[in-house]
Amino acid sequence: MHDLMFTLPNGRYLLVPSHVITTMQQYRQLKSTSKEQGGILMGVMRAERDEQVSVDNPPCIEVLSVTEPCRHDYATNTRFVRRCEHHLADMKNPAKTYKDLIYLGEWHTHPEDNPLPSRMDLRSWRKAFMNKLAIVVIVGRETNWWGLWADNKVIPIDKLHEF
């Protein structure tokens, strides 16, 4: 597994370290009994102080850490809802190491080889990220789907490099 770099509009980048991918991929729904799982993405956005960030002008984004599901979350074969407080509590630990660490978005798994957002995903992202910028990830059995949420819609983002 390698670090990943994606291109965002305006030539900015999204950087994802390999340990983040490895952590999320442990929860791939490879068996018919596997439940949907998920968590939060945390990291940093880099933009000039007075810069207006938008879908056409996103900041550079670096994912530094993700939270993992636990038994207190709600999980079925096709649905995952973060219920446990540990997701938010976990943000405080890396925040000590990385001063500007923020909530970047969320990830969850799908029981699909090459996943795409469901109608329910779009509805929940619209609610969670109203007028915000976020990174959303769906971990599939074979490939993962990455999106940039901005201007209240999602755009798929393509992998640029693996290194």
Only segment of 6-14, 50-58, 79-87, 144-152 that touches Zn ion (CB under 5 A): 79-87
Nearest residue to 116 via CA among 81, 143, 74, 145: 145
Closer of 13 and 109 to Zn ion (Cβ): 109
70 sits near Zn ion (criterion: CB under 5 A): yes
| Angstrom distance (rounded) from CA 119 to CA 133 | 19
159 sits near Zn ion (criterion: CB under 5 A): no
Residue 86 carries which DSSP code? H
86 sits near Zn ion (criterion: CB under 5 A): yes
91 sits near Zn ion (criterion: CB under 5 A): no
Find the DSSP H helices in the chain.
18-25, 86-97, 119-128
Closer of 70 and 155 to Zn ion (Cβ): 70
**Residue 134 · residue 147 · CB < 8 Å:** no
Closer of 84 and 155 to Zn ion (Cβ): 84
| Angstrom distance (rounded) from CA 63 to CA 105 | 10
Smallest gap from residue 103 Cβ to Zn ion (A): 17
| Angstrom distance (rounded) from CA 2 to CA 161 | 9
28 sits near Zn ion (criterion: CB under 5 A): no
Closer of 1 and 74 to Zn ion (Cβ): 74
Region class of 21: left (phi > 0), else alpha (psi between -120 and 50), else beta: alpha
Subset of 105-124 contacting Zn ion (CB under 5 A): 118, 121
Q: Which one of 2, 19, 46, 72 is in contact with Zn ion (CB under 5 A)?
A: 72
Q: Which one of 84, 91, 102, 128 is in contact with Zn ion (CB under 5 A)?
A: 84
Smallest gap from residue 91 Cβ to Zn ion (A): 13
CA distances from 110 to 16, 42, 119 (A): 20, 21, 13
Binding site for Zn ion (CB under 5 A): 70, 72, 84, 86, 118, 121
